[in-house]
Structure 1
């Protein structure tokens, strides 16, 4: 007869085996999610108020002959993951009816906010190829992305406009989500009252600073990024687009805003950028506002282990990293910002306010 310890050990081993299987095929979740976005399943279901049969969903797909049996298997997986609902028809028919959920609403294409562009970027083959080289980089050094493509990500996207557009679309969609949460934090706070000019460093096509200026029209907004990036930026009221290199100089302003920029870079480069930020703002009244992930010891109650997932993403793509509060404190001090505070907002990253005095 087996002892209690032996039974417990067998149970733990079985659980461990199950967890390895789940981790091994974790990519299946993201690929199913990608297929749902590419097929616009959320849009199709949502457009009919979330009460569609499988054949009705198939008829909404841009195809003259969609394979319904394959579609059924994909949707079955998506239902199990909670992305869609499945329930019997109210009219007593024999076809299952599918509906939207709080998850699928984030996968709509023509909606604001949406994470559909972010899903397409992070599941695209050009990005996934780099993940194959993690162990190579650990053994030999260098970034996985450069091992996959022979150049860094910024050079790669600059020479591949379609991929660059995919990246810009993904950044634009997260801008809307994060800036909405960011602005809600400062509503009626007076934080922006004395700011006449604000530069968004690495602002992409300018969506973030445009939203800030729309809310605070007295601010002169400057969208600052590489020349080939700002060349594709649309016109926004109150926003000027300036091309340049943040490692060389940053346009003068009352405040500097950076969203998910410093996590792209190693510590030495971050200090260079921060010192340039310090030069660009006045010593008295100058403000630096970062929107960045602050790694927690046990992860986030809402977002789980996404801080560490993003840390791996930064390692894979850019040789950057996500940082703890103590690591942020050290960087800020070395960059000329001895005073700071961290503010949690209803979004993935947090706000870090920093001051030169």
Structure 2
């Protein structure tokens, strides 16, 4: 909630505009905090400094100067993750976990997801915050693992939403035909953004996927059970040519344990795995993924390439 507050106030941007450091008085002036609340602003900044979002010098003085850590710099600039913060503390999502005790005692068939038990209906409006996530991480993937897209003449981004991720790919590889597949009500609100090699198709990934050299799934499969993942991947396999003809499925998702003992990343993994309970999702390790790929009819050979923290790019082949 403190992080949401500083994002809502625009504190990271305010510090960034001042060259990377600012006093409490500077921050209050630039963000509209009432002068009588500066002591309370200090408490907010102390918490976020202790958790690694800001640096602080002369912290016991009224002249304390705050700066941006590497983590906080993800909240400023052209491609920033600040829109994601409100989603993780969205009242509907957070309040779902107040029903966790009842959900754990209930029959799976009757309770549905944790969100459904708490609110009586499914989560049917996914976050616009994923636009920021898609843009930033696709830029990183293209810079670090861009070879996975080279040589492809066509790609389908399954569950690609508004097309933020596919648009980054389409602009980086202008000769590639990019298609975004999503549900009709999502596609109706999407725009091509002027990219001639980007199109949107309304459909259901459980029914069929448009044919292409490759199918792209970013943060899709972790929202579904193993059985549903198998069904989705079977439709992916039907949509692509053989491996010899260049067919493959590209997955961007968490692979638990890939950081080999990094305690901070391990903490992120267990937190995210717990968080995904709100939609009956799950974060998986390498063995879990390989079992799913095998059940979906893919060969035993797969490539798992870590990119950021616990996130990896996975390539599988028919």
TM-score by length of 2: 0.89
Structure 2 residue 176 is the aligned partner of structure 1 residue 206:
no
| Distance apart, 1:300 and its partner CA | 4.3
Instruction: Tell me how large the CA RMSD over aligned residues is.
Output: 2.2
Cα separation, 2, equivalents of 1:149 and 1:73: 34
Corresponding residue number in structure 1 for 2:79:
113
Corresponding residue number in structure 1 for 2:253:
292
TM-score by length of 1: 0.80
| Distance apart, 1:328 and its partner CA | 0.9
Structure 2 residue 233 is the aligned partner of structure 1 residue 274:
yes
Structure 2 residue 300 is the aligned partner of structure 1 residue 332:
no
Corresponding residue number in structure 1 for 2:281:
320
Structure 2 residue 143 is the aligned partner of structure 1 residue 184:
yes
SS in 2 for 1:208: helix
Corresponding residue number in structure 2 for 1:235:
192
SS in 2 for 1:115: coil
Task: Tell me if structure 2 keeps the 8 A contact 1:201–1:257.
Answer: yes
* Residue number among 133, 150, 160 corresponding to 1:174 in the alignment: 133
Corresponding residue number in structure 2 for 1:45:
15
Cα separation, 2, equivalents of 1:314 and 1:340: 25
Cα separation, 2, equivalents of 1:132 and 1:309: 16
Corresponding residue number in structure 1 for 2:101:
135
SS in 1 for 2:70: coil
| Distance apart, 1:65 and its partner CA | 6.5
* Residue number among 249, 255, 270 corresponding to 1:308 in the alignment: 270
Task: Tell me if structure 1 keeps the 8 A contact 2:257–2:266.
Answer: no
Cα deviations by residue, 1:129-155 (Å, 9 ceiling, x for unpaired):
11112221111133211111111112x
SS in 2 for 1:289: strand
SS in 2 for 1:173: helix
Corresponding residue number in structure 1 for 2:46:
76
Corresponding residue number in structure 2 for 1:259:
218
Cα separation, 2, equivalents of 1:322 and 1:101: 28
Corresponding residue number in structure 2 for 1:124:
90
Cα separation, 2, equivalents of 1:64 and 1:54: 12
Cα deviations by residue, 1:45-80 (Å, 9 ceiling, x for unpaired):
111113322222111124677722221221122222
Cα separation, 1, equivalents of 2:150 and 2:28: 52
The unaligned stretches of length 5 or more in structure 2 are none
Corresponding residue number in structure 2 for 1:103:
71
Cα separation, 1, equivalents of 2:36 and 2:82: 22
Cα deviations by residue, 1:159-194 (Å, 9 ceiling, x for unpaired):
xxxxx4xx12x211111232123212334x4x4343
Structure 2 residue 16 is the aligned partner of structure 1 residue 54:
no
| Distance apart, 1:219 and its partner CA | 0.4
Task: Tell me if structure 2 keeps the 8 A contact 1:266–1:319.
Answer: yes
| Distance apart, 1:289 and its partner CA | 0.4
Structure 2 residue 5 is the aligned partner of structure 1 residue 35:
yes
How many pairs are equivalent? 307
5 Å-filtered alignment, 1:208-227, equals 208-227=165-184
Cα separation, 2, equivalents of 1:278 and 1:66: 62
SS in 1 for 2:3: helix
Cα separation, 1, equivalents of 2:249 and 2:155: 10
Cα separation, 2, equivalents of 1:121 and 1:60: 25
Task: Tell me if structure 2 keeps the 8 A contact 1:58–1:66.
Answer: no
Cα separation, 1, equivalents of 2:104 and 2:134: 32
Cα separation, 2, equivalents of 1:257 and 1:106: 25
SS in 1 for 2:208: coil
**Please, which moves more after superposition, 295-304 or 341-350?**
295-304
5 Å-filtered alignment, 1:145-184, equals 145-154=115-124, 157=125, 164=126, 167-168=127-128, 170-184=129-143
The unaligned stretches of length 5 or more in structure 1 are 1-30, 158-163
